[in-house]
Structure 1
Amino acid sequence: MNLNVIKAYLIKEITEIVRSRLIIAIYLLPTMIILLFGYGIRMEVTHTRTAIIDYDKSKLSNDLISKFEHSKYFDVKFYDIEENKALNLMKQAKLDALIIIPEDFEKRVLKGQKTEIGIYIDASFPMRGTTIESYIQGILLDVSTEYLKDYPKKYLISVNQRILFNQSMRDENAIVPGLLGIILFVAPAILSALLIVKEKETGTIFNFYSSPVNKIEFLIAKLTPVFLLHSINIFILFLWAVYVFEVPFRGNFFIYWITSEIYVFISLSIGLLVSIITKTQIVAIIMTVVITVLPGFLYSGIIMPISSLRNEAYIEAHLFPVMYYNHIIYDTFLIGQGFSSEKNILYFFILILYSLLLLTIGVRFMKKEL
């Protein structure tokens, strides 16, 4: 291996990156993604537009309405509205929830008789509808427990609840660590996808074909500048997460760093493989986006926990490295088990094997000829 040849190629690659102003995109794109999605994605549902029809007019029903009025999750906009009118408002997307308290509600509760509360929820978005339903059930349970505390114990339900890992229930704590997996999967791959295909389009690849430089030297010179530049992003994204979004960091920074470096190398290898097998930059970018962006969002754990996936989706999630990386990243930020967890160790070695496999495939596909 000729180090002088590698050095010359390195200087050439760095010069081209700076001259083409790609270096701006290297740091601007990840920052834009983490800011846009970090502030833009919200799982918590607040200020639900609510109508309440009270046919009971009792102390219990008044206390129940008061709970909804003083909750940040509900905005009670209508009282004692006609049911048909409320349902029409829901059809017009002007109302999210309708609660109907029946007559003799308090009496039946105190006598231990079965009673029902009518609840209508706009479930056009199923996840949002399920969340609203859970909020309503929580308030009903809270009111019934508080109201019946002086009555026989058989009517009481006691809930001893503890929130772990994300005690404040902040969306940022759940979203931002997952965004790191998406950003470090997409950004390096897109840049490396242009490395070789760009030379094919401009014709400068013939310099490599006609030179005594071997494949290993060529690939090292191509990947090293991009790898080092994106390695800086690992620290920049960490600072955004901890100091801007105030996500707690409970794990080992070395585990975060070394895992992220391996993950960046995987992303670069994916882009490199795409760059080798394609002939135009547009095709390379489109293919890279399909391979990285879609799996990144679907299987990162941000939108849906991997454990909730079923059948083919569950298998597909295990075929992409973003799932393994994000599991370790969520642990370093929110839990802090590190390598004391066997699952983290397993996922760490899977990432190493993934990087070696992709690099081997890339070297085999790389031809020093037309």
Structure 2
Amino acid sequence: MKARVLKAYIQKELSEMLRSRLIIMVFLLPTMLMLLFGYGIRMEVKHARLIIIDNDQCRLSRLLVSKFEHSKYFNTITTVKDEAQALRRIKQAESDAIISIPASFEKRLLKGQSTQIGVFVDAAFPSRGSTIESYVQGVILNAAAGLVPAVSKGSIEINQRTMFNQAMRDEDAIVPGLIGLVLLVAPAIIAALLIVKEKERGTIFNFYASPLSKVEFVAAKLVPVFLLHSLNIFILFLWAMYLFEVPFRGSFWLYWGASEIYILVSISIGILISVITRTQIVAVVLTVMVTIIPGFMYSGIIMPISSMVGMSRYEAHIFPVMYYNHILYDVFLVGEGLSSVKTQAYLVILALYGTVLLGLGTLWLKKELK
């Protein structure tokens, strides 16, 4: 490999990125995506508007109402007395849920008889509706444990403990996955412009006429972007640790090594798209289609891969973001590291992805005028 020529090409790429202000996007885009989605995506529902209709007005019903009033998940309204009015308010999007306590609530409980509580939930958005329903059930079951004495000495008690995300924070569940999404999208978009812009400007003819080989040309394009985005590995790590306060329980060297391999995969996707397209707008649109959409669907941020069924489960294994995000969640929340066979296998798969994609991009690059 002609070291001096390659060095000159790398310096040319860096100076061009500085002159075109593209280097600003190298650092600005990942941080923007991290902050935008890190603060914007929320699975937890807080301050849901809840109407409680207490038809019994007894001691036990008031105790149940107080449980909801002291919950951070609900903003409780008890002034509505009519069920029809409450249903009208939920239809007008002025309420998220309704609880109707029957008139015989206390009497039936004291006699040991079963009683029913009416619960109406706005499920226009199914995930939000399901979360609110779970919260309502949780508060009622918690209240029932204190309202109704144990039936017998042999009653079962559940000692429940959450692992890895003990506080059940959205940030702990979302931010590690966001790093995988950001490091897939940002390097790929920048890399997708590297070769196709030379086709548009006509400067690609300099490569056609030069003694530089295809491997050297791709390396000259890849190295500056790779080095610059390597800094983003540490920047995003600092955002996650100190801005979003996500715990880090694993090996930093595993995080760094896996991230470097993953950036190579991302840049290889961009290089491949840059080779097969002829205009920058097509390259950017195609890159967005093959990175952002699969990145959201199959990164585990919105839905766990284990919950997927049918073809979606197989599709998730096609995209590299699933493998990298498994390693991210391990180093941030679990800390198993390389002692996990799955982590070792996923590192090998990511390396294969980078090798194959970069090889295809180099192979399909033509050093001739069609």
TM-score interval for Structure 1 and Structure 2 normalised by the shorter chain: over 0.9
Q: How far, CA to CA, are the matches of 2:91 and 2:316 in structure 1?
A: 37
Matched, 1:97 2:97: yes
Residue 37 of structure 1 and its aligned partner are, at CA, apart by 1.2
Deviation digits for residues 197-236 of structure 1 (CA, Å, limit 9, x no counterpart): 0000000000111111101111111100000000000000
Q: How far, CA to CA, are the matches of 2:192 and 2:151 in structure 1?
A: 70
Give the structure 2 partner of residue 290 of structure 1: 289
Q: How far, CA to CA, are the matches of 2:311 and 2:361 in structure 1?
A: 27
Q: How far, CA to CA, are the matches of 1:90 and 1:238 in structure 2?
A: 43
Q: What is the identity, as a one-letter code, of the residue corresponding to 1:31?
A: T
Give the structure 2 partner of residue 250 of structure 1: 249
Between stretches 78-87 and 12-21, larger displacement belongs to 78-87
Q: How far, CA to CA, are the matches of 2:79 and 2:164 in structure 1?
A: 39
Give the structure 1 partner of residue 33 of structure 2: 33
Deviation digits for residues 347-366 of structure 1 (CA, Å, limit 9, x no counterpart): 11111111111111111111
Matched, 1:230 2:229: yes
Give the structure 2 partner of residue 11 of structure 1: 11
Give the structure 2 partner of residue 66 of structure 1: 66
Map 1:144-163 onto structure 2 (within 5 A).
Answer: 144-149=144-149, 151-153=150-152, 158-163=157-162
Q: How far, CA to CA, are the matches of 2:36 and 2:363 in structure 1?
A: 39
Give the structure 1 partner of residue 264 of structure 2: 265
Q: What is the identity, as a one-letter code, of the residue corresponding to 2:104?
A: D
Give the structure 1 partner of residue 46 of structure 2: 46
Residue 80 of structure 1 and its aligned partner are, at CA, apart by 4.6
| Cα pair 2:55 2:102 within 8 Å, conserved | yes
Between stretches 70-79 and 204-213, larger displacement belongs to 70-79
Map 1:1-370 onto structure 2 (within 5 A).
Answer: 1-149=1-149, 151-153=150-152, 158-370=157-369
| Cα pair 2:273 2:283 within 8 Å, conserved | yes
Q: What is the identity, as a one-letter code, of the residue corresponding to 2:337?
A: G
SS of 2:77 mapped into structure 1 = strand
Q: What is the identity percentage for the equivalent residue pairs of Structure 1 and Structure 2?
A: 61
Q: What is the identity, as a one-letter code, of the residue corresponding to 1:262?
A: I
SS of 2:46 mapped into structure 1 = coil
Residue 152 of structure 1 and its aligned partner are, at CA, apart by 2.8
SS of 1:79 mapped into structure 2 = coil
Deviation digits for residues 20-60 of structure 1 (CA, Å, limit 9, x no counterpart): 11111110111111111111111110111111111222222
| Cα pair 1:189 1:269 within 8 Å, conserved | yes
Residue 116 of structure 1 and its aligned partner are, at CA, apart by 1.0
Deviation digits for residues 146-198 of structure 1 (CA, Å, limit 9, x no counterpart): 1223x432795522110111111111111111110010000000000001000
Deviation digits for residues 288-342 of structure 1 (CA, Å, limit 9, x no counterpart): 0101011111111111111111111111111100011001101100110011111
* Pair 1:123–1:157, CA change in 2 (3 A): farther
Q: How far, CA to CA, are the matches of 1:258 and 1:110 in structure 2?
A: 63
Give me the TM-score of the superposition, normalised by structure 1.
0.97
Q: What is the identity, as a one-letter code, of the residue corresponding to 1:192?
A: A
| Cα pair 2:241 2:247 within 8 Å, conserved | yes
Deviation digits for residues 260-298 of structure 1 (CA, Å, limit 9, x no counterpart): 000000000000000000000000000001010111111
